Structure 1
Amino acid sequence: MAYTALYRVYRPQTFQDVVGQEHVTTTLRNALRENRLSHAYLFNGPRGTGKTSAAKIMAKAVNCEQPIDGEPCNQCDTCRAISNGSVTDVLEIDAASNRGVEEIRDIRDKVKFAPSDVRYKVYIIDEVHMLTTEAFNALLKTLEEPPSHVIFILATTEPHKLPATIISRCQRFDFHRIPLKVMVNLLQGICQSQGVQVEEQALQLVAKMAEGGARDALSLLDQAISYSKDEVRASDIMQITGTVAQSYFSVLARHIAENDVAEVMEQFDRVMVQGKDPEQFLHDFLYYYRDMLLLKTAPQLEEIVERTMIDEQFAEVANLYSFPALYAAIETCNQALSQLKWSTYARVLVELTLVKMCQPTANATESMGASPVNSEELTAMSNRIRVLEERLVQVMQGQVSIPGQQKAEETRKNEPRRIAAASGGSRTPLNRVREVAKAMDENLTRQVRGQWSQILTELKKIKIQYQAWLVNGQPVAAGNDAVVVTFNSAIHCDKTMEAELRSVIERVMSTVLGKPLQLLSVMEEEWQSVDQQVGQKDASDEPEEDPFLAEAIKLVGEGLVEVKD
């Protein structure tokens, strides 16, 4: 017969076989024992944690002819038939490949028929989050009120993708990642039953790589058994998975702490020659520093023991790093891992990361925190702060005036108002705008304002986008062969002064007005400032009144005074 994979051979057949999910199996066994069955269940959690296995065990338990304390007997014809998949009333549906509304409608039409071989029809829908919105809608009513002989069990790794209306109709069970110690015990028992010799550290590595998933752990163990000859060793696991030994990371981290770039590059090259993946290398190195940080902050934390072997070498290297140095190393590795997703040259990026970690600047925070403070400098600084505080109190009470304050205030009062758009003003030369303001033609200005709507209409006929850029502008002055148009939006102002759009607008104005005029687009604040400056200059150009003449008018009246040159 063909070889069967370990994760299929050791698939749980009872709730007691499901490891690491006691909070789920206990609840289900009690419900079966007391006959408090729900019509719909939702099993969600990480991959390989027993969701589908628990669903099949549930299907056997509700239909078992001789259940034992909420467990299926696995001896009766019904249990054996369900295990073999020969019962048509227990259906396992993969929603990833049967995600359409037609498949769900087919289920909805068939649930009304009574089961032919067992007591309950059980529908196990795996990866249910892959169903379409229409399929979920088709499932809603049936899921809420199915016939008494039907049980739905939904399984998913991404429950957040399910509609809330589906989740609210189910009893939800969250499957957890299997703890590392539990996983090691499971692997050890399987190795003993298989007659396989395996190192303790190899089991630790397998459990670590599985990240809480029993199926992943068994698949990796199966591969390691095929690779090894007499005994599964930790080196075999590292060779298969492409990981690096912890002792290597300890040597590398020591050289980084000593800022020895040459040794670091040599150690990294030694790993790359062995065919290791740069991204996996950096991922493991990040976790090495993470474990080091946890060792220094919480030595009794159980997860440290799970992740790393706490030996003398690891503890010695940890003493070489301060907290700021560890923060910097972890942050540098994390940034590099984010960049690796988009980088073509993974090895070069990892080498650059290692060189950065060796630079003295990486430990700048540490050196700054460790440098002693000169007592004399501290005393002098304290005295200066005290004097400044006293002066500040006096200024606030009005006892002392700040030198130059009055002069600065007068300067600000006399200073003309700055243009509001100075940081983002228009590209129009303001000298040209001043010329138009000085030589403004009132008749031409009224003509432009009166025919402005016609100009916009003609511009819209050419292209509606052109009219949209100019529609917010207002003509304020015309003269000296130019028109000044003001805007409140800097984007519209700048756009209308671009060569292409500006030439089209000037051509339309020439056609409508019968006279060629240049377009000058400015911000409204700029125009107000220019207009104000021109008005002040015109007022200053008026001749000053003769004081003798003013006194004569005051004495005899303006009617009796005649001025001759």
Structure 2
Amino acid sequence: MRYTALYRQWRPETFDEVVGQDATIRILKNQIKSNRIAHAYLFCGSRGTGKTSTAKVFAKAVNCLNPIDGNPCLKCEVCQKLSIGSSMDIIEIDAASNNGVDEIRELRDKVKYPPVVGRYKVYIIDEVHMLSTGAFNALLKTLEEPPQHIIFILATTEPHRLPATILSRCQRFNFKRIANKSIVSRLAEIAKRTGVQVEREALYTIARWAEGSMRDALSLLDQCIGFGGNVVSNEDVLAVLGTADQGFIFAVAENIIEGNVSDLFYQVEQLIEDGRDVIVFLKDLIHHLRNLLVIKVCHDGAELIDVGEDTFKAYTEQAQKASQERLMRAIEILCAAEAEMRWSTQPRVSLEMALVRICRPEQEVMLDALMDRVAKLEQQLEGGVVVKQTSPSRKGARAASKSQAVDGGSTVGKEGGDDGSNAGGGTADAHVWEEVLGIIKKERIALYGFLKDCGFVLDEKGVAVLSFPADQQFFMESINREDNRNFVEKAIERVIGRQVKVRCTLVEGKSTSTEPEEKSQNEDIIEKAIDIFGEDFVEIVDD
């Protein structure tokens, strides 16, 4: 027997099976129960929201011999004939292919004939906006005063294209997009009744991509069942859609928040190598940043984000790291890039340029870019540079910053009990570690992520001590795995020319490897503070 698509197998047979259109269904059922049935209806709404399905259920219900609470009984002779499509009392017309005056004249001549079995003859005209102007004019009189046994149901996705004279002759019902939770519930029910196991996260992904269309959701589920068999995971859905997994999107968003352009370029390269669709990925990324913005600006954003509990917790943690200005600007730039990509032959380049613009607001003179720069500067100033109202000279401020950087290095040396030679050794260690990180970043970028914040000291016994901050114990344990530790030892050997052993430790506070970087960052922060606030309002003081 030939296979029938899921959206056709599970087309609603009663009003109770129609999902997400409660107000419309309630009105139609009450009209049937009270016998207040109109002669013309207009069902309008986006694709896959149940317009045609509701029209067919309504046609059954008005002709049913034994209706139950406004629903067709599905057991009487009329219902059974209508279900198998053999009834002559329901005529479905595709206006896209029957849009001329002649077809409407033929319809007008046939409406005078009474129904064969039921009480009403129902004409369902789908995509009615495709009718020509002459066809609309030919339909006007019949639509206004049809025979008592005739009901017209017009369905369209573009009601604004209908003449006002048609709209005024119909009862209009707007079919809204179906909520993601309703789609997930319906998909779970169908999957259970068909014997297919689908992950909850996969159902949410399908619902999100369906964009309020139940038909699109069922079609996508059908594809995923064909891909994964009777067990469908979220990875199967992502593979069918051609987009990246959620962990990858979180990592990209993290680099956008931190402004790591280099890492973003590597991630785009990985995206292309995996054969993912850039435009599809961009839609997911925009949706992800939108969710972060919702959590950032709303007191309780859980109701506005259709995700699982664990995913929502991850969203909340990431949103705390981001500024509202950065998120708004990123969404605006990425939305503009998405529009450009539809006509671009180089979507990858468009994506990369958009990411650079997001992470380099100082290269733009727009107001939103300036606000992003100020927000970032405020976050950096909270890390150690204090701004007070005073009037030093510009040169004095810059000299103070350089003096502070030098004093900071000597203070570290004194605390460790080292003399001047040891301080020089620390600088040499920093240069060695910078070269080692460069090698690791090119060959094992995942390990680079674990190591980029740790400190590095090479002692006289040939032992490389890697000191991790106390909150990075997971990173330390990952490096301590034999294969990872051997790779790091080989990378150090390539730089210094001799074998070493790696030993990992946890330390309180920040790792020592960030000191040289912090010094240069302090100087850069002071430069930016002077440029933005003016030299008369910036003074450098110790914490």
> TM > 0.5 between the two?
yes
Displacement, 1:90? 1.1
Displacement, 1:246? 2.1
Displacement, 1:144? 0.5
Displacement, 1:299? 4.2
1:127 aligns with 2:130: no
Displacement, 1:193? 0.4
| C-alpha distance 360-114 of structure 1, shift in aligned 2 (>3 A) | closer
Displacement, 1:69? 1.9
The whole-number CA distance in structure 1 between the counterparts of 2:121 and 2:209 is 38
Residue in structure 1 matched with residue 97 of structure 2 by the alignment: 97
Residue in structure 1 matched with residue 374 of structure 2 by the alignment: 368
The whole-number CA distance in structure 1 between the counterparts of 2:334 and 2:391 is 38
Residues 330-365 of structure 1: CA distance to partner in whole angstroms, max 9, x if unpaired? 111012112112211111111111222222527642
Displacement, 1:230? 4.3
1:236 aligns with 2:242: no
| C-alpha distance 303-213 of structure 1, shift in aligned 2 (>3 A) | farther
The whole-number CA distance in structure 2 between the counterparts of 1:313 and 1:69 is 46
Residue in structure 2 matched with residue 52 of structure 1 by the alignment: 52
Residue in structure 2 matched with residue 476 of structure 1 by the alignment: none
Aligned length: 378
Q: RMSD of the TM alignment (CA)?
A: 1.9
What is the DSSP-based 3-state SS (H/G/I as helix, E as strand, rest coil) of the residue aligned with 2:305?
Answer: helix
The whole-number CA distance in structure 2 between the counterparts of 1:329 and 1:316 is 18
What is the DSSP-based 3-state SS (H/G/I as helix, E as strand, rest coil) of the residue aligned with 1:276?
Answer: coil
The whole-number CA distance in structure 1 between the counterparts of 2:316 and 2:59 is 51
Displacement, 1:109? 1.0
When structure 1 is superposed on structure 2, of 149-158 and 226-235 the one drifting more is 226-235
Does the Cα contact within 8 Å between 2:302 and 2:312 map onto a contact in 1?
A: no
| C-alpha distance 218-350 of structure 1, shift in aligned 2 (>3 A) | same
Equivalent residue letter for 2:150: V
Unaligned runs of 5+ in 1: 379-565
Displacement, 1:303? 5.0
Does the Cα contact within 8 Å between 1:104 and 1:135 map onto a contact in 2?
A: yes
When structure 1 is superposed on structure 2, of 290-299 and 232-241 the one drifting more is 290-299
Displacement, 1:281? 1.4
Percent identity among equivalent residues?
A: 49
1:109 aligns with 2:117: no
Residues 170-190 of structure 1: CA distance to partner in whole angstroms, max 9, x if unpaired? 111111111111111111111
Displacement, 1:305? 2.5
Please show how residues 350-369 of structure 1 align to structure 2 within 5 Å: 350-361=351-362, 364-368=370-374
Residue in structure 2 matched with residue 292 of structure 1 by the alignment: 292
Displacement, 1:210? 0.8
The whole-number CA distance in structure 2 between the counterparts of 1:310 and 1:143 is 52
1:260 aligns with 2:241: no
Displacement, 1:310? 3.6
Residue in structure 2 matched with residue 343 of structure 1 by the alignment: 344
TM-score, normalising length from structure 2? 0.67
The whole-number CA distance in structure 2 between the counterparts of 1:44 and 1:97 is 19
Equivalent residue letter for 1:342: W
Residues 376-434 of structure 1: CA distance to partner in whole angstroms, max 9, x if unpaired? 469xxxxxxxxxxxxxxxxxxxxxxxxxxxxxxxxxxxxxxxxxxxxxxxxxxxxxxxx
Please show how residues 163-178 of structure 1 align to structure 2 within 5 Å: 163-178=163-178
| C-alpha distance 40-311 of structure 1, shift in aligned 2 (>3 A) | closer
Residue in structure 2 matched with residue 33 of structure 1 by the alignment: 33
Displacement, 1:231? 1.3
The whole-number CA distance in structure 2 between the counterparts of 1:134 and 1:303 is 48
Does the Cα contact within 8 Å between 1:261 and 1:358 map onto a contact in 2?
A: yes
Q: Which has the higher contact order (CA 8 A, sep 6+)?
A: 2
Residues 313-339 of structure 1: CA distance to partner in whole angstroms, max 9, x if unpaired? 433332222111112111110121121
Please show how residues 356-505 of structure 1 align to structure 2 within 5 Å: 356-361=357-362, 364-368=370-374, 370=378, 374-376=388-390
Displacement, 1:151? 0.4
What is the DSSP-based 3-state SS (H/G/I as helix, E as strand, rest coil) of the residue aligned with 1:375?
Answer: coil
Residue in structure 1 matched with residue 438 of structure 2 by the alignment: none
Equivalent residue letter for 1:217: A
Displacement, 1:43? 0.7
What is the DSSP-based 3-state SS (H/G/I as helix, E as strand, rest coil) of the residue aligned with 2:306?
Answer: helix
The whole-number CA distance in structure 2 between the counterparts of 1:253 and 1:207 is 22
1:330 aligns with 2:331: yes
Residue in structure 2 matched with residue 185 of structure 1 by the alignment: 185
Equivalent residue letter for 1:187: L
The whole-number CA distance in structure 2 between the counterparts of 1:109 and 1:289 is 57
The whole-number CA distance in structure 2 between the counterparts of 1:277 and 1:61 is 45
When structure 1 is superposed on structure 2, of 351-360 and 308-317 the one drifting more is 308-317
The whole-number CA distance in structure 1 between the counterparts of 2:312 and 2:91 is 51
The whole-number CA distance in structure 2 between the counterparts of 1:182 and 1:256 is 33
Does the Cα contact within 8 Å between 1:24 and 1:175 map onto a contact in 2?
A: yes
Unaligned runs of 5+ in 2: 393-543
Does the Cα contact within 8 Å between 1:291 and 1:307 map onto a contact in 2?
A: no
The whole-number CA distance in structure 2 between the counterparts of 1:89 and 1:54 is 16
The whole-number CA distance in structure 2 between the counterparts of 1:3 and 1:107 is 34
1:320 aligns with 2:321: yes
Does the Cα contact within 8 Å between 1:63 and 1:119 map onto a contact in 2?
A: yes
Does the Cα contact within 8 Å between 1:259 and 1:360 map onto a contact in 2?
A: no
What is the DSSP-based 3-state SS (H/G/I as helix, E as strand, rest coil) of the residue aligned with 2:93?
Answer: strand
Looking at CA atoms only, which structure, 1 or 2, has the larger radius of gyration?
A: 1
Does the Cα contact within 8 Å between 2:291 and 2:315 map onto a contact in 1?
A: no
Does the Cα contact within 8 Å between 1:208 and 1:307 map onto a contact in 2?
A: no
The whole-number CA distance in structure 2 between the counterparts of 1:121 and 1:55 is 13
Displacement, 1:165? 0.8
1:138 aligns with 2:144: no
